[in-house]
């Protein structure tokens, strides 16, 4: 068994903070960027302490945490609530928050004010929006408002009713289109782009066409970094795994076993044990024992 020593919270706190510049430096130095989603304080703390570079509060929380069947119902308030919880845990990683469906799809003013809430109220350091050339103008406006933006192209889950959950970029023309999308986002000021569910070859071509980093999820190893959904990594989704997911530990089995064990201990009276119970101080216990059963009823207040 290998014992991996995680950095302590103090060590993580003193490690250099990851910024947009760090991500760029990593691309230029060919050092892979690590990214993972997190949605709550306790798991975000583990993710940050493990030295992950970028933590995304993804709108995938709609499915993984809130039980919706897509990301579409996720609201601004839900995203802000979870982003604040993750913010309290993160010391070193760059904190990225997903703008939910509907929060940047109507007016530019509304998109900017929603993005500002992520930065100002929830402590995110960048926001992620889905879409290509159609979002370039918005990326530029947000960037001019000093908001760091990460793009997201390929399979964009907020477009499920238009494109489905299908691998994108499966022809030369489709790859050209994705490259044009990525370049438009880069020109507009995006600090990085998530590439989701595209052939490895497309991931490589887009990555080499850009000066900003690409973060792949199902986009092959040539991307500048990789991101996965926390619940996929730990077999916590209860759904069939996508091809690109690698499950690193079976938390489902671990949790289920522990819960069943606990329930069985309660049912058979072995939990809580005496050692897990509080006890009266010696004097109070002696006083309680001095009370005769007949006195107990009449002297309830004194002895009870």
Q: Are 169 and 214 in contact (CB under 8 A)?
A: no
Joined tokens for residue 292? 């005769």
Candidate residues 122, 178, 227, 233; the one interacting with ligand KIV per rule CB under 6 A = 227
Q: Are 194 and 215 in contact (CB under 8 A)?
A: yes
Joined tokens for residue 149? 């933006």
d(CA 149, CA 127): 5
Q: How far is the CB of 62 from ligand KIV (least distance, A)?
A: 8
Joined tokens for residue 124? 């995110």
**Of these residues, 137, 146, 196, 260, which one is catalytic?**
196
Candidate residues 34, 37, 158, 235; the one interacting with ligand KIV per rule CB under 6 A = 37
Joined tokens for residue 2? 């290998």
Q: Which residues in the 188-217 window bind ligand KIV by CB under 6 A?
A: 194, 196, 217
Site membership for ligand KIV, residue 224 (CB under 6 A): no
Candidate residues 48, 59, 181, 232; the one interacting with ligand KIV per rule CB under 6 A = 59
Q: How far is the CB of 241 from ligand KIV (least distance, A)?
A: 14
Query: In this structure, is the dihedral angle defined by the CA atoms of residues 103, 105, 110 and 112, taken in order, positive or negative?
Result: positive
Which are the contacts of 249, defined by CB distance < 8 A and separation ≥ 6? 233, 234, 235
Q: Which of the ranges 52-60, 240-248, 262-270, 295-303 carries the binding residues for ligand KIV, by CB under 6 A?
A: 52-60
d(CA 304, CA 295): 11
287 a catalytic residue: no
Nearer of residues 56 and 192 to ligand KIV, judged by Cβ? 56
The Cβ of residue 173 has, within 10 Å, a number of other Cβ atoms equal to 9
Residues in the chain: 304
Nearer of residues 166 and 279 to ligand KIV, judged by Cβ? 166
Site membership for ligand KIV, residue 218 (CB under 6 A): no
Site membership for ligand KIV, residue 58 (CB under 6 A): yes
Site membership for ligand KIV, residue 60 (CB under 6 A): yes
| Residue tagged 């500048």 (tokens) | 224
Q: Which residue of this chain has its Cβ atom nearest to ligand KIV in the complex? A: 58
Q: Rounding to the nearest 10 degrees, give the CA dihedral for residues 178, 184, 187, 188.
A: -120
Candidate residues 54, 124, 198, 229; the one interacting with ligand KIV per rule CB under 6 A = 229
Q: Which of the ranges 57-65, 109-117, 177-185, 205-213 carries the binding residues for ligand KIV, by CB under 6 A?
A: 57-65
Site membership for ligand KIV, residue 98 (CB under 6 A): yes
Residue 28, phi then psi, degrees to nearest 5: -65, -30
Which chain residues interact with ligand KIV by CB under 6 A?
37, 56, 58-60, 98, 194, 196, 217, 227, 229
Residues that are catalytic? 196
């Amino acid at each position: 068994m290998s014992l991996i020593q995680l950095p302590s919270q103090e060590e993580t706190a003193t490690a250099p903070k990851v910024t947009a510049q760090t991500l760029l430096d990593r691309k230029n130095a060919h050092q892979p960027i690590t990214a993972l989603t997190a949605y709550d304080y306790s798991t975000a703390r583990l993710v940050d302490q493990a030295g992950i570079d970028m933590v995304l509060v993804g709108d995938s929380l709609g499915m993984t945490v809130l039980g919706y069947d897509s990301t579409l119902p996720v609201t601004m308030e839900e995203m802000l609530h979870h982003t604040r919880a993750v913010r309290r845990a993160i010391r070193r990683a760059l904190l990225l928050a997903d703008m939910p469906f509907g929060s940047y799809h109507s007016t530019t003013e509304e998109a900017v004010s929603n993005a500002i809430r992520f930065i100002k109220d929830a402590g995110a350091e960048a926001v992620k929006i889905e879409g290509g050339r159609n979002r370039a103008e918005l990326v530029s406006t947000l960037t001019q408002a000093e908001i760091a933006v990460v793009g997201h192209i390929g399979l964009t889950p907020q477009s499920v009713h238009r494109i489905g959950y299908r691998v994108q970029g499966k022809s030369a023309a489709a790859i050209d289109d994705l490259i044009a999308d990525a370049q438009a986002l880069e020109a507009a000021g995006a600090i990085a782009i998530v590439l989701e569910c595209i052939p490895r070859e497309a991931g490589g071509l887009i990555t080499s066409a850009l000066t900003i980093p690409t973060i792949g999820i199902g986009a092959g190893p040539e991307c500048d970094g990789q991101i996965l959904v926390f619940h996929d990594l730990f077999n916590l989704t209860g759904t069939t795994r996508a091809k690109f997911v690698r499950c690193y530990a079976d938390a489902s089995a671990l949790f289920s076993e522990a819960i069943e064990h606990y329930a069985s201990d309660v049912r058979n009276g072995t939990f809580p044990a005496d050692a897990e119970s509080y006890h009266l101080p010696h004097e109070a216990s002696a006083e309680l024992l001095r009370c005769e059963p007949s006195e107990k009823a009449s002297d309830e207040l004194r002895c009870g």
